[in-house]
Chain A
Amino acid sequence: MPPLLRIKNLVKTFEDNKVLNGIDIDVEKGETLGLFGNSGSGKTTVGRCIVGLEKPDSGSIFFKGNDLRAMNRREKKKVRPQIQMIFQHPEVSLNPRMKAFDSLVEPLKIHGWDDGYSLENKVEELINLVGLRREHLARYPAHLSGGEIQRIVLARILSINPEFIVADEPTSMLDVSVQAQVLRIMEKIQQEKGVSYLLISHDIDVLRKVCHRIAFLKNGRISGVENA
């Protein structure tokens, strides 16, 4: 059985700067793999290549054994909802002109939902999952805290039942108490839904606490992988 996600020999260059120089990573189903590195080490680039926001120079990204880079448009469209990303900066993660409710409804309307709920009930189930209340739905992002926005983003992602989530420094802009809240919610969701995470962070204490394994990114290569 192949791993849920396998990255083979990934290379990415920006102008003359080779940021990723042959990256190999495996993430199993239900696993949280931490990706550690300092600022500018290329952690985010790995995440962006996985979700298709960057085009690698060479290498392969296999999802459930199928090479994402070899897929045609139609095949990619089918796979993409299963691979989602949480970004570092909560303040720019949601459309500032949409209330939280509308942000949550948008992916449901695009991808549909088939579990017999009404739209309102489905949205309520999602916000309960991330520990928010109904009153948060009527707010614009400007009236939500960073931790609340990251949880709305998580709920929005979960609405389309992804199997793999790239979480790029999801708590680096949050306070310690809110950080603990968001990470514990992510853990709970993993236990309930079996999702896998690539958790990108420069905080080794956080990675050691919540990951199963940690990969260390240095000079464009994985310098080592250890059990957390």
Chain B
Amino acid sequence: MSYLNVSSVCVDFLTENGSVKAVNDISFEMNKGETFGIIGESGSGKSVITQAILRLLPSNAVVSGKIFFESEDLLSIDNKKMRQIRGREISLIPQNPAGSLNPLLKNKLQVAEVFEVMGVNKKEGIKSVLGMLKNLLMKEPAHILENYPHELSGGMKQRLLAAMCLSYKPSLLVADEPTKGLDSFSKKGTLDLFRHMKREHGNSMLVITHDLDFALEICDRVAVMYAGQIVEIGAVTNVLKNPSHPYTKALLNALPRNGLIPLNGHTPSRINLPEGCLFYTRCNLRSDKCGSERPVTKSNKGVIVRCHLY
């Protein structure tokens, strides 16, 4: 059995205007020790998937399908069991490191708080975070713990959060947009950090990103999401060096070095999904069939792709 198995998962948000289909029949598997990336534009449902795995979705979300982590069905276990998994077995490095730390507390207190909640001796916990910060290539870790969050750069805050996550030795690390808004220098630091976590700690990692270069550097396999569906999935070099789906091609063409070609049009309404392919109106390779029939996933040159072209 695979390490993480997401099978036919749908997430609908019930709103005043109707049911919003944020995630629409997603399936993928992850192996132990693997770094798996989910890429796609904002609103494609990438973060919703991670929240579904960690059961952190708001109360108006309706989740169906199966999510197996090792042998546990995460969607059916009770809250007590889930709390034991969340943070201990599966840890999240959130999207916005600045917004994840309390600005009024010294970093040391915030670190201690995590261990207090976990029921672990605070002193032991801080000691383990100090070791981890050193391990994550941070200079003067003791000094950093005496600082406030605003005294750290974005990259340093991210390392602090990573150290807090890793000090509990989670089996699966989930990172949500780790390079968003960072400059090239900080991005390189994040890349080094993730390479280090992969190499030294052997973590399995689920990385949510729209940074295609970062995905190419760090991931073993990637899934490309569009409008709540996976449109292409496979080894990262196959998907990003030799893309099959027109949407993956369009994403790559939008990179400045590839011409900064915009993807015109809008994503479809997620309340009333169109009958055919969800990318139909924006696709320059569309045919009549694409407008009337929703494509299913097919195998093509080592990747799985959801397109009538194959």
Q: Does A184 contact B (CB under 8 A)?
A: yes
Interface pair B180/A173, CB less than 8 Å apart: yes
Beyond A181-B262, A184-B260, is A174–B42 a contact (Cβ under 8 Å)? yes
The residues of B that contact A203 with a CB separation of less than 8 Å are 184, 256
Q: Does B264 contact A (CB under 8 A)?
A: yes
Q: Does A202 contact B (CB under 8 A)?
A: yes
How many chain B residues touch A (CB < 8 A): the figure is 27
The residues of A that contact B43 with a CB separation of less than 8 Å are 145
A205 and B264 CA atoms in complex are apart in Å by 21
Within 8 Å by CB of B251, from A39, A131, A146, A176, lies: A176
Q: Does A179 contact B (CB under 8 A)?
A: yes
A210 and B254 CA atoms in complex are apart in Å by 13
A145 and B43 CA atoms in complex are apart in Å by 8
Interface pair B42/A178, CB less than 8 Å apart: yes
Interface pair A176/B255, CB less than 8 Å apart: yes
Least CB distance from B39 to A in Å reads: 9
Least CB distance from B268 to A in Å reads: 13
The residues of B that contact A177 with a CB separation of less than 8 Å are 41, 250-251, 254, 262-263
How many chain A residues touch B (CB < 8 A): the figure is 30
A78 and B298 CA atoms in complex are apart in Å by 62
- Closest chain A residue to B182 by CB distance? A39
Least CB distance from A60 to B in Å reads: 29
Interface pair B256/A184, CB less than 8 Å apart: no
Q: Does A71 contact B (CB under 8 A)?
A: no
Least CB distance from A46 to B in Å reads: 16
The residues of B that contact A2 with a CB separation of less than 8 Å are none
A174 and B153 CA atoms in complex are apart in Å by 21
Cross-chain pairs A/B with CB under 8 angstroms, 9 sampled: A39-B154, A88-B181, A172-B181, A173-B181, A180-B263, A183-B260, A184-B260, A205-B255, A206-B256
B residues within 8 Å of A by Cβ? 40-43, 153-154, 180-186, 210, 212, 250-251, 254-257, 260-264, 266
